[in-house]
Chain A
């Protein structure tokens, strides 16, 4: 109850400040969107279904891209973690590649895949693959060796060992990396969508820009943040909580 109260106070205050600044009319409304203007834009967007469609399209893309990069990242990460040669060669490359914004791949992606969904997916995958790979590599290394030995001892081999022992044992160590990978995927997606007429939230945002409708731009920004928050709060938080209960770890604050 107390926590809810604090939320209300904080966000109410923030909204109040915004309203105040808008009311003072220091800047003209086309430069500084107002809360009610954004509210109206949100309402209109949902009323004419354009936001629903954009959300559905964007979510579909990010899910496909993210799932592919999780699978690829796990294989790559495991490979790097369990092979000395790969670790010494590819390990350093992966870390340095992470400093490259994934949108840098956009020109190449356009050449390779054309103006298509696949070009966007490629950028999304490049955005999140590295975090997942590095997280998996790290998790595999941090995981206590005893679990692997106990698994082999009890007759687990090959894929069964990976699926029933190595993966669940390293999960607590990779879940934050998976979360980071999700955030990168989401960001890359929006960026890519802004560069290409493609439905999706990024395009709706750019449409606001083209129409000089800052209310719509901020409305989409709010949506992007809200979706990021919901996925983080619902999906990853509950995975983490579930794991902490099972493992008996103290909940991270």
Chain B
């Protein structure tokens, strides 16, 4: 498994990664008739790809009291933008992704995608779960194909697309493996291919690389950036790792500890490709980290005081 990852590293030196201007072109041309939708949609630039207005979410705890998880969140994401959301654990950032994905309705407020309100799950927004949620009863190829199958895409086209996306994440030779036979990093890439194969406009990623070792994570950062550049998707990426956020994002949004509020936004204008170890990345991260640390301290203090207070788990029940 690991040798495969290494080979890939050799294939794709950092300097070979496409510059940002390549965005929205590339792979589709190379692979011919695969292209179904072009990333640039005929939506006026004034309408954000994703717009959250005054989003609130509250839970009822077992003891019956209401717990405010998200508090009047306002957020706009431009088409093709790479946005990272950071915050201390328990700030509701995963829940925010579930709301955008339509898996759960907000208590109040409105979520707009291309100016239209979100009514439920839709394949224009695909969420990559923290636990991935790959289907263990299906092969890698069948997992990638799943969304297309649900849409009713013909078998021949599904197979072609599946090959295309598996090639995109460098897993072509693992098409017939089952997911438990793959390493953690490879499973991440299957999840990415499965999400991309449904041709979503917006890719929602929930701490996808948190459980990986540093080397694998760095590689996947490179790959994700390359795929983002090639496909022109809008990405909303949740992480608690500030340097990871600065490494990847056009803009970093910081959420406060419970209730989750939008604390500050940090545009990241650093040239790409970046490395997590770049001095500028570290410096930019430090600014955000100062703000974040405040929140973390607050969360720790509250946890120590409260002792047994129920935690809000990401994606938990309402």
Interface window among B12-20, B132-140, B158-166, B226-234: B132-140
Does A2 sit at the interface, judged by CB under 8 A?
no
Q: Which residues on the A side are within 8 Å of B122 (C-beta)?
A: 155
Does B103 sit at the interface, judged by CB under 8 A?
yes
A147, A153, A160, A164: the one contacting B121 at CB < 8 Å is A153
Instruction: Report A144-179 residues with CB < 8 Å from chain B CB.
Output: 146-147, 149-150, 152-157, 160, 164-165, 168-169, 171
- With A154-B194, A155-B123 in contact, is A149–B315 under 8 Å at CB? yes
Does B107 sit at the interface, judged by CB under 8 A?
no
- With A154-B123, A248-B178, A248-B180 in contact, is A169–B135 under 8 Å at CB? yes
Does B255 sit at the interface, judged by CB under 8 A?
no
Q: Which residues on the B side are within 8 Å of A72 (C-beta)?
A: none
User: Contact between A153 and B126 (Cβ–Cβ < 8 Å)?
Assistant: yes
Contact code string B110-149 (vs A, CB < 8 Å = 1, else 0) = 0000000000011100110101011111000000001101
Does B35 sit at the interface, judged by CB under 8 A?
no
Q: Which residues on the B side are within 8 Å of A146 (C-beta)?
A: 129, 131, 133
Min Cβ gap B98→A in Å is 8
Does A246 sit at the interface, judged by CB under 8 A?
yes
User: Contact between A246 and B129 (Cβ–Cβ < 8 Å)?
Assistant: no
Q: Which residues on the A side are within 8 Å of B133 (C-beta)?
A: 146-147, 149-150, 153
Q: Which residues on the B side are within 8 Å of A247 (C-beta)?
A: 136-137, 178, 180
Q: A155-B121, A168-B135 are in contact. List 13 more A-B contacts (CB 8 A).
A: A146-B133, A150-B129, A153-B103, A154-B150, A155-B147, A155-B151, A156-B150, A165-B135, A169-B137, A246-B136, A247-B180, A248-B179, A248-B181
Q: Kindly list the 8 A-B residue pairs having the minimum CB-CB distance in the complex, ordered from nearest.
A: A248-B180, A150-B133, A155-B150, A154-B147, A146-B133, A155-B123, A168-B137, A247-B136
Min Cβ gap A246→B in Å is 5
Bound form: Cα–Cα A153–B122 in Å: 7
Interface of A is mostly: helix
A-B contact list, 27 entries, CB within 8 Å: A146-B129, A146-B131, A146-B133, A147-B135, A149-B103, A149-B315, A152-B121, A153-B121, A153-B127, A153-B133, A154-B123, A154-B147, A154-B194, A155-B121, A155-B147, A155-B151, A156-B146, A156-B150, A160-B150, A164-B149, A164-B150, A169-B137, A243-B137, A246-B178, A247-B136, A248-B136, A248-B181
Q: Which residues of A does B touch, CB under 8 Å? A: 146-147, 149-150, 152-157, 160, 164-165, 168-169, 171, 243, 245-248
Number of A-B contacts defined by CB within 8 Å: 62
Does B198 sit at the interface, judged by CB under 8 A?
yes
Does B169 sit at the interface, judged by CB under 8 A?
no
Q: Which residues on the B side are within 8 Å of A150 (C-beta)?
A: 129, 133-135
User: Contact between A154 and B137 (Cβ–Cβ < 8 Å)?
Assistant: no
For A149, A150, A154, the residue with the greatest tally of chain B CB atoms inside 10 Å of its CB is A154
Min Cβ gap B145→A in Å is 10
Bound form: Cα–Cα A152–B126 in Å: 10
Does B101 sit at the interface, judged by CB under 8 A?
yes
Bound form: Cα–Cα A100–B129 in Å: 45
Q: Which residues on the B side are within 8 Å of A169 (C-beta)?
A: 135, 137
Bound form: Cα–Cα A153–B104 in Å: 11
Bound form: Cα–Cα A165–B150 in Å: 11
Q: Which residues of B does A touch, CB under 8 Å? A: 101, 103, 121-123, 126-127, 129, 131, 133-137, 146-147, 149-151, 178-181, 194, 198, 315
Bound form: Cα–Cα A245–B315 in Å: 30
Q: Which residues on the A side are within 8 Å of B315 (C-beta)?
A: 149
Bound form: Cα–Cα A169–B137 in Å: 8
Q: Name which residue of chain A comes closest to B124, CB basis.
A: A155
Bound form: Cα–Cα A198–B194 in Å: 55
Q: Which residues on the B side are within 8 Å of A165 (C-beta)?
A: 135
Bound form: Cα–Cα A156–B135 in Å: 13
Bound form: Cα–Cα A165–B137 in Å: 9
Min Cβ gap A168→B in Å is 4
Min Cβ gap A249→B in Å is 8
For A149, A165, A171, A245, the residue with the greatest tally of chain B CB atoms inside 10 Å of its CB is A149
Min Cβ gap A175→B in Å is 12
User: Contact between B103 and A164 (Cβ–Cβ < 8 Å)?
Assistant: no
Bound form: Cα–Cα A213–B180 in Å: 56
Min Cβ gap A223→B in Å is 36
Bound form: Cα–Cα A235–B158 in Å: 32
User: Contact between A155 and B198 (Cβ–Cβ < 8 Å)?
Assistant: yes
Q: Which residues on the B side are within 8 Å of A168 (C-beta)?
A: 135, 137
Min Cβ gap B217→A in Å is 22
Bound form: Cα–Cα A155–B194 in Å: 12
Bound form: Cα–Cα A109–B20 in Å: 75
Min Cβ gap A153→B in Å is 5
Bound form: Cα–Cα A153–B134 in Å: 12
Min Cβ gap A67→B in Å is 22
Q: Name which residue of chain B comes closest to A248, CB basis.
A: B180
Bound form: Cα–Cα A149–B103 in Å: 7
